[in-house]
Structure 1
Amino acid sequence: MKKVLFFIPNLMHGGAEKVLVNLVNNLDRDKYDITVQTIFDEGVNKKYLKKDIKYKYIFKKLFRGSTTLFKLFKTKFLYKSLIKEQYDIVISYLEGPTARIISGCLDKNTKKITWIHTELYNENLFSIGFNSFEGAKSSYESYDKVICVSEKVKESFINISGIKQNVDVLYNVNETDDIIRKSKENIEDIQLNKSKINICSVGKVTEVKGYDRLAKIHKKLIDEGLDHNIYIIGTGEDEPKIRKYIKENKLENSFYLIGFKDNPYKYVSKCDLFVCSSYREGFSTAVTESLVVGTPVVSTLCSGAQELLGYNNEHGLVVENSEEGIYKGLKKLLEDKELLEYYKKKAAERGSFFSKEKTVEAVEKMLDEI
């Protein structure tokens, strides 16, 4: 049995945190003795870890400046101080501080894996959590395997780092059966207006998700007489700014920030369309989940979008990553009900490709062969 550690900053409500829990919960317990360790004992996803997954943390509470603090110490010292047990495989499940700490493992009997969830397309992004670009490159070169969540993320990683050896793509694990079951639950806290097209999005309400520009596009479409509602499921620091825009433009009855939901799938499945307005993604968990429940998708051209929706819009609409691109994509589907119905069928077909069984099997094969 292989002793495996997954290391991540926290288990808060992000996509990477969620798919890590999905992954470890489904790995074969006869083959792997699994520990999840966080830097901070924070997050809604912690409660979803199965009882036989060992869990530990370093700090009880999140505090500002932790990334800077870790940079003061050598990687070897950090690893020895923070990762106290012996493992066969140690995995940093996010870029940044955890990747730097795990790179400090010098034990030849321990295999090191790092997971990349986003496009590291410039030196600044590549170096987050590290003291320099060179330091980041040296750390990543020490890994036995670099796992990227999409082909675009892989391409970006190779381009910026020059590292080509042992860089592979594995798709995120989604609890597809669970998602479908939960999607059938009734919505009780809000009333969807069935006389309008209902559009939704799920994600942290942060700048990178582009919800501020989505609100502007919504206003433009409403002003043109294309009646629809938009529901944002999530929470984050951009909320006050977006709420201010909604109020100033009298959009309170059509653009809704409904907060974080334990079960977003019941909302997504009952909406007519899902929109991903992000500036950047790795391989969007929310888009994947939307396809699983059969809700058509319009997504900006960011990492993973074409792998999910097709390079020629076979399974959904991939639009230019701009306000104009999102506006044109939404307008097209708001005006063409037949096309919207067509993409509903295509979404369900594509969703089956990302079944839990296939994605878990691929990860286990990698862990067995490393």
Structure 2
Amino acid sequence: MKKILFLIHDLGQGGAEKVLVNLVNNMDHTKFDITVMTLFDHGENRQFLGDKIHYKTWCKKMIPGNSHIMKLLSPQQLHKLIIKAHYDIEVSYLEGPCARIISGCTDESVKLVSWIHIEQHTTKRAIASFRNQKEAVKCYKRFHKIVSVSKTVEMDFRKILNIDASYQVLYNTNESKKIRGLSEESITIDIDQENTVNIVGVGKLLKSKGFDRILRITKQLIAENYSVHTYILGEGPEKETLQNYIKANGLGKNVTFLGYQINPYKYISRCDLFVCASYAEGFSTATTEALILGVPVCTVEVSGMKEMLGENNEYGIVTENNDEALYEGIRCLVKSPELLRHYRKQAQKRGDMFSTEKTVAEVENMLLTL
């Protein structure tokens, strides 16, 4: 049995945190003895870890400016301080401090894996958790495998740091059967599925997620007499700003905030269109879940979307990453029930690509062949 450690910053409501829990819960526990370790004991997703997963944490509370404080110690010193047990495989499940810590393992018998979840775009961002670019390159060269969640994430990482390493793309794990089952639960709000096109956006309410774009587009559609209602699932620092925009523009009857939901699927499945308006993504978990539920998708072009939806919009609509293009894509679907029906069928087909069994088997094979 392989003894394996997954190190992540925390288990908050982000996509990487969620798919890590999905992955470890569904791995073969006769082959892998799995520990999930967080740097900080925080997050809604911890409660979903299965009974067979060992859980550890380094600090009970978040330390402000922790990535800067960690730079005072070398990767080797950090590894000795934080990773106390011996593992056959150590995985940094997020870029940044986790990668720096795992790279500090000095035991040559241990296999090291770095998981990259998002495009870095600039060298400055890619090396932000390291002392300098030289240290970042040296640390990443220590890994036996660098895994990316999409081809575009891998291409971006290679271009920025130009590291000669063993690379592999592995798509995120979603619990497809569970998602479909949870989608059938009843809801306590009234969603008009007869006379209204219901739009849904899901994610932490951050500027990078572009929920302000969705609100501006909702306003524009209403001004053009389209019957739409927008539902937003998530919490975050931008909530007050978004609510102020709704109030100032008289959108209270057309936008509903549903907050963070343990079961978002029962709401997503009852909507007509999933929209991703993000300025940056790795491989959007929420979009994958929408496809699993057979909900049509309209998204701006960010990492992984063309891999997910096809180069020519076979399984959903991918627009340029600006407000005007996204508006045109959404309007095209809102005004055409026939096109929405077409993309609902296509979403159902594409959702099968992300079956739990397939994505987990690919990760297990990678770990066993290191």
Q: For this structure pair, what is the TM-score category when the shorter chain's length is used for normalisation? A: over 0.9
TM-score, structure 1 normalization: 0.98
1:122 counterpart letter in structure 2 = T
2:312 counterpart letter in structure 1 = N
- How far apart, CA to CA, are the structure 1 residues paired with 2:199 and 2:213? 15
- How far apart, CA to CA, are the structure 1 residues paired with 2:17 and 2:247? 33
1:167-219 CA distances to partner (integer Å, 9 max, x unpaired)? 1100001000100100111111x221222100101100101100012211111
SS at match of 2:46: helix
The answer to which of 109-118 and 220-229 deviates more is: 220-229
Paired residue for 1:192?
191
1:88 counterpart letter in structure 2 = D
Paired residue for 1:369?
369
1:56-87 CA distances to partner (integer Å, 9 max, x unpaired)? 10111113111111111111000011000111
How many Å apart are 1:135 and its aligned residue? 1.8
Paired residue for 1:330?
330
How many Å apart are 1:124 and its aligned residue? 1.8
Question: What is the CA RMSD across the aligned residues, in angstroms?
Answer: 0.8
1:300-329 CA distances to partner (integer Å, 9 max, x unpaired)? 100010111111000000011110111011
Paired residue for 1:283?
283
How many Å apart are 1:134 and its aligned residue? 2.3
Paired residue for 2:339?
339
> Is the Cα contact below 8 Å between 2:141 and 2:164 reproduced in 1?
no
- How far apart, CA to CA, are the structure 2 residues paired with 1:135 and 1:224? 54
1:342 counterpart letter in structure 2 = H
Paired residue for 1:176?
176
- How far apart, CA to CA, are the structure 1 residues paired with 2:177 and 2:209? 27
TM-score, structure 2 normalization: 0.98
Instruction: Map 1:1-370; keep pairs closer than 5 Å.
Output: 1-188=1-188, 190-194=189-193, 195-370=195-370
1:83 counterpart letter in structure 2 = I
How many Å apart are 1:165 and its aligned residue? 2.3
> Is the Cα contact below 8 Å between 1:201 and 1:276 reproduced in 2?
yes
SS at match of 2:155: helix
How many Å apart are 1:296 and its aligned residue? 0.5
- Structure 1, unpaired ranges of 5+: none
> Is the Cα contact below 8 Å between 1:97 and 1:128 reproduced in 2?
no
- How far apart, CA to CA, are the structure 1 residues paired with 2:250 and 2:221? 14
> Is the Cα contact below 8 Å between 2:94 and 2:115 reproduced in 1?
yes
SS at match of 2:246: helix
- How far apart, CA to CA, are the structure 2 residues paired with 1:121 and 1:146? 17
How many Å apart are 1:156 and its aligned residue? 0.5
How many Å apart are 1:336 and its aligned residue? 1.1
- How far apart, CA to CA, are the structure 2 residues paired with 1:44 and 1:112? 27
- How far apart, CA to CA, are the structure 1 residues paired with 2:153 and 2:319? 18
How many Å apart are 1:143 and its aligned residue? 0.6
1:230-265 CA distances to partner (integer Å, 9 max, x unpaired)? 111001111111111110001011122210000011
- How far apart, CA to CA, are the structure 2 residues paired with 1:128 and 1:201? 30
1:174 counterpart letter in structure 2 = N
SS at match of 1:270: coil
Identity rate, percent: 46
2:148 counterpart letter in structure 1 = C
How many Å apart are 1:102 and its aligned residue? 0.6
1:244-290 CA distances to partner (integer Å, 9 max, x unpaired)? 11100010111222100000111111100100011111001000000
SS at match of 1:46: helix
SS at match of 2:25: helix
- How far apart, CA to CA, are the structure 2 residues paired with 1:85 and 1:112? 15
> Is the Cα contact below 8 Å between 1:294 and 1:351 reproduced in 2?
yes
How many Å apart are 1:164 and its aligned residue? 4.0
SS at match of 2:160: helix
> Is the Cα contact below 8 Å between 2:39 and 2:58 reproduced in 1?
yes
> Is the Cα contact below 8 Å between 2:296 and 2:344 reproduced in 1?
yes
> Is the Cα contact below 8 Å between 1:200 and 1:274 reproduced in 2?
yes
- How far apart, CA to CA, are the structure 2 residues paired with 1:121 and 1:247? 35
Structure 1 residue ranges (4+ consecutive) displaced by more than 4 angstroms after TM superposition = none
- How far apart, CA to CA, are the structure 2 residues paired with 1:236 and 1:41? 19
- How far apart, CA to CA, are the structure 2 residues paired with 1:125 and 1:72? 19
SS at match of 2:269: helix
- How far apart, CA to CA, are the structure 2 residues paired with 1:156 and 1:55? 32
SS at match of 2:34: strand
How many Å apart are 1:131 and its aligned residue? 1.7
SS at match of 2:11: coil
> Is the Cα contact below 8 Å between 1:117 and 1:149 reproduced in 2?
yes
**Equivalent residue pairs, number:** 369
